Structure 1
């Protein structure tokens, strides 16, 4: 099932790049990011309500029981997401979608390396070959 959701994520990510490139024509990329964030906030809460995950007692208890480490990492993740969106939108505003998106997907390589360092995930020979191919593909597309 995770593969299904990952494919949907990939499809919607590609739509994001195309739609925002068109939408950024007459607006500052930072303002566009802020507007997008508000809409995402609403959509996220709609999903929470729709999936009936907003049991008021459980939600309050869950929030009370958040430890500092969990909260810190959620906040850091939000900051990283916000910065990623700001830079991504700016890059899309001034660059070609086909190059910006490919460079953005180098996040795969960075994620694998960081997962190895911080989460102790194993990097196998297959993964190393994949990393090399991703970097090579990125260079081929962006330098063309």
Structure 2
């Protein structure tokens, strides 16, 4: 990818998808011999350290007072939701195959569209809703054992 590609949300979204796929594979192997809760804790500590290093290295670390209360509230809620998602994801990976867990996890795409419609007032086009329906159908088809 060239430098201009890194200024597009699409490039970052594709990278996110690639890293999420690696996350599933690495987590499935990593959770094999330990509890999913301990695995989630280790992963969380690694993420915390990595982001602290990134913020310090790039000079982006600011004092917490510079962050507005509303921002704090929604970032804390987002963090709690992330933690709950990770706990559930690692438990699912411990109990089931990654090839079945990941498609169900990706139903989050559908839920984001629904939540964004209800809470944020976002209105996907008819084509967008068709894509959301196809993602739903695809996730179900991938996750159903034959």
Fold match by TM threshold 0.5: yes
Aligned length, in residue pairs: 138
Partner of 2:74: 73
Residue 98 of structure 2 is matched in structure 1 by 97
| Shift in Å, 1:67 | 2.9
Cα distance in 2 between the residues matched to 1:101 and 1:81: 16
Q: Which residue of 2 aligns with 1:133?
A: 134
Kept in 1: contact 2:103–2:142 (CA 8 A):
yes
* 2:12 equivalent to 1:11: no
- Structure 1 runs of 4+ aligned residues shifted over 2 Å read 65-68
Distance in 1 (alpha carbons) for counterparts of 2:48 and 2:36? 18
- RMSD (CA atoms): 1.1
Select which of 42, 45, 62 maps to 1:35. Answer: 42
- The alignment's TM-score, normalised by the length of structure 1, stands at 0.91
**How far, CA to CA, are the matches of 1:132 and 1:6 in structure 2?**
20
Partner of 1:143: 144
Gaps (5+ residues) in structure 2? 1-7
TM-score when normalising by structure 2: 0.90
**Which of structures 1 and 2 has the larger relative contact order (alpha carbons within 8 angstroms, sep 6+)?**
1
C-alpha distance in 1, partners of 2:67/2:14?
Answer: 31
- Is the contact between residue 103 and residue 140 of structure 2 (CA under 8 Å) also seen in structure 1? no
Give per-residue Cα distances to partners, 1:77-125, cap 9 Å, x unaligned: 0000000000000001110111100000000000011111111111210
Q: How does 1:38-77 map to 2 (within 5 A)?
A: 38-54=45-61, 59-60=62-63, 63-77=64-78
